[in-house]
C-alpha cells in the first residue's frame, strides 16, 4: 500500500476518533458518484435534509445517523 494512501486512512482514523459517533461504515457507489456514511447499523432514518452543498443529513429522531454525499469524486479532487 502506498505511503500516501496510508496517510489518508490515518487522517480518516483521526476524524472518526474525534467524532462523537466512534463507529463508521461507508460505501461508495461509483456509478452514482455517491458516498454513503453511516454512524449506526442498522440505520433507519426518520428524517433527512439536503444541505446547500448537496449532502443529505439523515436523522433518527434528533440523532444524526448518516450522511449521503452527492458528487463525491468532485469533492475528493478538491
Q: Any idea what DSSP says for residue 62?
A: T
Does a structural domain hold residue 5? no
In 10 A of CB 63, how many CB atoms? Answer: 12
pLDDT in tens, 27-78: 999 999 999 999 988 878 999 999 999 999 999 999 999 999 999 999 876 5
For the entire predicted model, the pTM comes to 0.82
Does a structural domain hold residue 73? yes
Measured in whole angstroms, the distance separating CA 40 from the mean position of its chain's CA atoms is 12
Does a structural domain hold residue 10? no
What is the number of domains present in the chain? 1
Does a structural domain hold residue 30? yes
Q: Which three cell numbers stand for residue 61?
A: 429522531
Confidence of residue 14 (pLDDT cuts 50, 70, 90): confident
Instruction: Give the Cα separation of 34 and 32 in Å (integer).
Output: 5
| Domain extent for 71 | 21-77
Q: Which three cell numbers stand for residue 28?
A: 461508495
Q: Is the pLDDT of residue 18 over 80?
A: yes
Amino acid at each position: 500500500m502506498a505511503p500516501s494512501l496510508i496517510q489518508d486512512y490515518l487522517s480518516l482514523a483521526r476524524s472518526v476518533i474525534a467524532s462523537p459517533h466512534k463507529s463508521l461504515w461507508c460505501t461508495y457507489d461509483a456509478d452514482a458518484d455517491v458516498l454513503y456514511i453511516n454512524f449506526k447499523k442498522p440505520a433507519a432514518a426518520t428524517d433527512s435534509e439536503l444541505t446547500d452543498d448537496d449532502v443529505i443529513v439523515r436523522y433518527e429522531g434528533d440523532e444524526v445517523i448518516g450522511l449521503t454525499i452527492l458528487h463525491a469524486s468532485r469533492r475528493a479532487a478538491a
